[in-house]
């Protein structure tokens, strides 16, 4: 089992940057593919970015390509989401998820979720 705790959210102006972190418990973190998803009020949870267990493969939603970067540090049991050029439409609760699939790009493939961290982008 994996427990996930996100941090790094907050209020930022449009065009600004944030770095989200997701710390995982357990010795098997490196066995899991990791992903970031987000959910805005009244909307379904949607895929943002994903990374394979080794970090060798990544995938991004079209709306964040070129702006967000996912990375992981298996020695620290942590996955990151670097967010640049933030837009008001990026406002949402951001969740990290752990998956036993090769790379998780849909919520259905996520086996463990964190509690989420709020990101608010003001215009």
The dihedral region occupied by 10, where left means phi > 0, alpha psi between -120 and 50, and beta the remainder, is left
When the pLDDT of each residue in the chain is averaged and rounded to a whole number, the result is 95
Per-residue pLDDT, 28: 87
Per-residue pLDDT, 1: 83
pLDDT digits (tens, 9 = 90+) for 64-120: 989 999 999 999 999 999 999 999 999 999 999 999 988 989 999 999 999 999 999
What is the maximum alpha-carbon separation in the chain? 41
Per-residue pLDDT, 80: 98
Neighbours of 31 (CB within 10 A): 12
3-state helix vs strand vs coil in the chain, percent to 5: 10, 50, 40
Q: What is the percent of the chain where pLDDT is above 70?
A: 100
Cα separation, 84 vs 69, whole angstroms:
9
Q: What's the DSSP call for residue 31? A: G
Q: What is the mean pLDDT of residues 21-35?
A: 91
């Amino acid at each position: 089992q994996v427990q996930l705790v996100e941090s790094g959210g907050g209020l930022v102006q449009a065009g600004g940057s944030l770095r989200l972190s997701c710390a995982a418990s357990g010795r098997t973190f490196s066995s899991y593919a990791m992903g970031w998803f987000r959910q805005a009020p009244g909307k379904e949870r949607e895929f943002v970015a994903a990374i394979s267990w080794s970090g060798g493969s990544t995938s991004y939603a079209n709306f964040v390509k070129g702006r967000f970067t996912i990375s992981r540090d298996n020695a620290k049991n942590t996955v990151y989401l670097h967010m640049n050029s933030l837009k008001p439409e990026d406002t949402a609760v951001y969740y990290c998820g752990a998956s036993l699939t090769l790379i998780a790009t849909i919520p259905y493939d996520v086996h463990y979720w964190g509690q989420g961290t709020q990101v608010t982008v003001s215009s």
